[in-house]
Amino acid sequence: MTITTEKVLVDHLISFESHQSPFECAIRGIELPVIAEFERDGRLSCPDFKMTDRVVEADGAERTRTAFPNISRLTGNHVLTAVQSDVAPKGKRVAVLFSGGPAAGGHNVVAGIRRILGPDNTLFGIKAGPLGLMLGDCFEIGLSDVDGILNTGGFDFLGSDRTKIKTAEDMARVLATVQKFKLDGIIVVGGDDSNTNAAFIADYLAPHDCAVIGVPKTIDGDLQVGDLVPISFGFDTATKIYSEIVGNILQDTPSSRKYWHFIKLMGRSASHVALEVALQTHPAVTLISEEIAARNMTLSQVVEQIAEAVVARAASGINHGVVLIPEGVIEFIPEIKALVRVSNEFMAGDDVPTASMAARVQRFGNHLNSDMKILFAGLPESIQTKLLMDRDSHGNLQVSQIPSEELFIELTEKRVAELDPAVKFAPLNHFFGYEGRCGAPTRFDAVYTYNLGLVAGALVVRGKSGYMAGVSDIASGGKGVAIPLSGLITTERRSGGDHMVIKKALVEMESPAFKFFESRREAWAKSDMFSSPGPRQLWGPLGNQVPMTVALNLGAESLGFLIGR
């Protein structure tokens, strides 16, 4: 390379590599205020916890108590709250792991834990999630090791995986790791399933004096416990990332004046992500899975709703728009769910033609009862084919494998042509998911997760076990709380029997957030009333907002949060 004059710049650019971009360097310096009980004379101080009168209990509490005898007894399903303390625990050995898909702020949880443990306790990072816990794949995290990951996105400091720890053998392997590293505690950062898993491990390890604490993570936003866990971490960042992109595309529609964008948004079951993005951006149509289920809507009814918006807007000269589709929507349409089940049975049978897909489609069609026959016949060929694909080793087609955005595009196209052949309808499709999981956290997620780490770390060194760490009162300084995991768990009938689960928080038809959306969506469908919330800002006047759904559902008067000030 024969670069001379710009040598200074070249050296500068090379110095940006490996997580040293100007942005990454600057965000490490963002101030992270902490909850009052975690600070004394301007320095971090490990609080203790006292039991409150508040009891948390889900349906079927009796059954849960039987399944989790140890932690039910220890916690009594009472909420704990942090109180200042003069004595800090010493010599404790703690491990932390990430479980499931990444979410913004995970690194700050680790940083918070490491710092509240201080120099007198030891923290281990477990590599690559629950599997690493069973394998004993740990490394010690020094106090200064977390400086570099502060406020950065991703889970790469530890890695993550989706292994479930469930059999007696799995538990024995966890115990071996606990004994090998002489652990006094384990912190599991994960979603609803991972926190259920944490409860099982907590109960199992209780006789071995190893505490287990969960931390509520998931961009889907479906792990919530009222005011105690107003939202799981990562949701704010993910929805702000999606909202920016959707806002940009909305802004493109009246500029280009010719496209309808069908945008699928990640969030496996619940529609919190789609609802939040809708509140931020005001697109023409937003599907809410929970509403479709609550109203028992058929596929054609859902399509009708979109097609009518397309036709009505065209009548006002607007040949563009945006449709938001929650990733899980298909599973909320009862007739589609049934059709997939029948297709699974059919494909497992002896009567599957192999000569051609056309023959298969015909045979399957004959096989169906009359309602399903009509439904199947009305599906686009690509979806029919998808339903009758050869199955992989698992045998079942998952409903989620049906490309819903393409399905809605094809059916809307057909229906619009029926309603008014003169309407111009040029659809495009997008799926946003991976884009939002690992961005650098918003200020809210950064501060929230750092404090969640402080709470989780303090709980575990105080020997508290079977809780989920929480930060309540996020609009007024924040409080460190601990929610009993056994109080969150209920029994759910799933295929193959009963399962103990933490119930997913779905969008409630009666929630203020949904009600607000419902009251505005007709106006948004009629004409362009969209807004562009812009890229999330870490500096300047816009840094301190919580998600709109959270503010509405908490009954807050503003979008601002205030932790630790």
How far apart, in whole angstroms, are the C-alpha atoms of residue 71 and residue 68? Answer: 6
- C-alpha to C-alpha distances, 434 to 215, 295, 324, 337, nearest whole angstrom: 21, 31, 17, 26
Token pair recorded at residue 66: 């039987």
Residue 528 annotated as catalytic: no
| Least Å from the CB of residue 101 to its own copies | 7
Distance, CA of 325 to CA of 342 (rounded, Å): 25
CA 21 to chain centre: 27
* CB of 23 or CB of 348, closer to its own copies: 23
Residue 483 to residue 468: CA distance in whole angstroms: 5
Task: For its own copies, give the closer residue by CB, 6 or 209.
Answer: 6
Instruction: Read off the tokens for 288.
Output: 């809410």
- CA–CA separation, 213 and 455 (whole Å): 10
Q: How far lies 430's CA from each of 272, 302, 407, 530, in Å?
A: 18, 19, 13, 18
Report which secondary-structure segment, H or E, holds 187: strand 185-190
Q: What is the DSSP letter of 400?
A: G
User: Token pair for residue 146?
Assistant: 């977390």
- Please, which residue, 154 or 480, has the CB nearer to its own copies? 154
Q: Are 21 and 30 in contact (CB under 8 A)?
A: no
Q: How far is the CB of 543 from its own copies (least distance, A)?
A: 9
Q: Which residues are CB-contacts of 303 (< 8 A; sequence separation ≥ 6)? A: 408, 411, 412, 415
28 versus 40: smaller Cβ distance to its own copies? 28
Closer to its own copies at the Cβ: 69 or 434? 434
Residue whose structure tokens are 């005898």:
69
Active-site residue (options: 184, 203, 220, 236): 220
Measure CA of the first residue to CA of the last residue in the chain; give whole Å: 52
Task: Give me the least distance between CB of 339 and its own copies, in Å please.
Answer: 26
92 vs 536, beta carbon nearer its own copies: 536
How far apart, in whole angstroms, are the C-alpha atoms of residue 480 and residue 550?
18
Q: How far apart are the C-alpha atoms of 275 and 520, rounded to whole Å?
A: 12
Min separation Cβ 88 and its own copies, Å: 32
CB 165 within 8 A of CB 175: no
Closest separation between CB of residue 420 and its own copies, Å? 22
Closest to its own copies by CB, 2 or 369: 2
Q: What span, in angstroms and rounded, lies between the C-alpha atoms of 251 and 233?
A: 28
- Point out the residues that are catalytic: 220
